[in-house]
Structure 1
Amino acid sequence: MAARLPGAVGPVPATVGTAVKVRHLTRRFGERTVLDGVDLEIAQGEFVALLGRSGSGKSTLLRVLAGLDPGAEGRAEVGGTVAVAFQEPRLIPWKRVLANVALGLRVPDPRAAALAALEEVGLGGLRDAWPLTLSGGEAQRASLARALVREPGLLLLDEPFSALDALTRITIHRLVLDLWVRHGPGILLVTHDVDEALLLADRVLVLDRGVIAHESRVELPRPRRRDHPDLIALRSILLAGLGVTPEGTA
């Protein structure tokens, strides 16, 4: 787990387990190699962000880890349940919000567990609402509740904030950090937003041409300020790793 300065937020378990361990992960589509021998390890309770240009393999990696793409070669070991929150909330429109969160939940009282999850994300009053009546932020809260109610060891976030307006995004960022502290999963966040990665993650990776080409640790307490000198320096490093120079794209 990344070291934290005094006052940093985040779960600190007595013994650090592994949320996921990936070795030599390769995914080919015909003659095109999208993932080329990726090695990755995320500790339980660690928050990792993954950056990369479009087509770099970010979403492919996430789909493999979620068990949605069985065509990959290599090894991926996950320590516990995996849950995913996608860019689109993917709520079933003909089921009310509570039923969406409880869907497929294998616990003694799925309804009670789903309701507790909705209360946790501030949607208890909308348990009987239809998904199409929710705002974008509310729908993403419901998606997070559906993921976290399963108490995953690994939470995969596939650009879940990209369609939100700026103010709603800030609110959901804070909510995700709060839920992360309470539940303690390992998190892999796929994003195109360098600032978002730096504000949220313990560690930021850059995926380029199917391999992890760069890694930066963010050893700052939260909440973080965009104008912190360390973040400004890290932003420049990450942008360079993404091929973005002060003059434009390399």
Structure 2
Amino acid sequence: MGVQVRGLRRQFGDRLVLDDLDLDIQPGKFVALLGHSGCGKSTLLRILAGLDPDIDGEVWVPKERAVAFQAPRLMPWKRVWRNVVLGLPGRPDRARAEKYLEEVGLTKHAGVWPKTLSGGEAQRVSLARALVREPDLLLLDEPFGALDALTRAKAQRLVAELWQRHGCAVLLVTHDVEESLLLADRVLVMDGGRIAHEIHVDLPRPRDVGDPAFVSARARLLSWLGVRDASAASA
């Protein structure tokens, strides 16, 4: 099963954040979610993750879910491999942790303390901790937002590779229009507490930001977000 949301409402006091929202994500698909700050993107993600049950409406999600947030949220008093398997049932399994650390290129860091990691390395540990749960739905809440441009580009490529390898559905919350088009099959734009716009991204991978179809899609998304695409205007 993928994701099905029908008539979802979430209110904080007098503020209605999600208003009769509908959403479908097919199994194995990569979906990106854009929108202005405060539009409800992260609220929706938290609901899908099961972290916010105080809702109206109907939500169906796979039982096996995992989340990676912008802040890696590693426990500083636990070595890296123990952070990866944190919360799993049974005894901590270092071999299992190292299997997923290998996938993100951090096998040699299994025994170190989190404080010795760079920002990009810590985020990769967060991804390994999500993947070790073998999720059918991977939820990513701006996981690259705090990274520098080069590290961010490497992390984006890694996520694309991991998604293709594992075949789980992915919902990526991001503010980065170009990032959404580089990674996703569908890009959704939230406005007024609902999914207001949608683009299907039918471009070969890896994607070329100079491809006319990519440029056109970027311009449409920016216009929906109320931003003028200067690069398209000067082309």
Q: TM-score, normalised by structure 1?
A: 0.89
Give the aligned residue type for 1:161: F
Map 1:1-250 onto structure 2 (within 5 A): 18-106=1-89, 110-245=93-228
Q: Secondary structure at the match of 1:170?
A: helix
Following superposition, the deviation at residue 220 of structure 1 comes to: 0.6
Q: TM-score, normalised by structure 2?
A: 0.95
Aligned residues: 230
Instruction: Tell me which residue corresponds to 2:233.
Output: none
8 A Cα contact 1:19 1:185, kept in partner:
no
8 A Cα contact 1:19 1:80, kept in partner:
no
CA deviations over 1:89-135 (Å, ceiling 9, x no partner): 00001100000001122378732211100111111100011111100
Gaps of 5+ in 2: 231-235
Structure 1 133/28 Cα, relative in aligned 2: closer, same or farther at 3 Å? same
Following superposition, the deviation at residue 79 of structure 1 comes to: 2.2
Name the CA distance, whole Å, in 2 between partners of 1:246 and 1:41.
Answer: 29
Name the CA distance, whole Å, in 2 between partners of 1:246 and 1:203.
Answer: 20
Large movers: runs of 4+ above 4 Å: none
Name the CA distance, whole Å, in 1 between partners of 2:228 and 2:19.
Answer: 26
Name the CA distance, whole Å, in 1 between partners of 2:167 and 2:87.
Answer: 22
Gaps of 5+ in 1: 1-17
Name the CA distance, whole Å, in 1 between partners of 2:175 and 2:48.
Answer: 19
Following superposition, the deviation at residue 19 of structure 1 comes to: 2.1
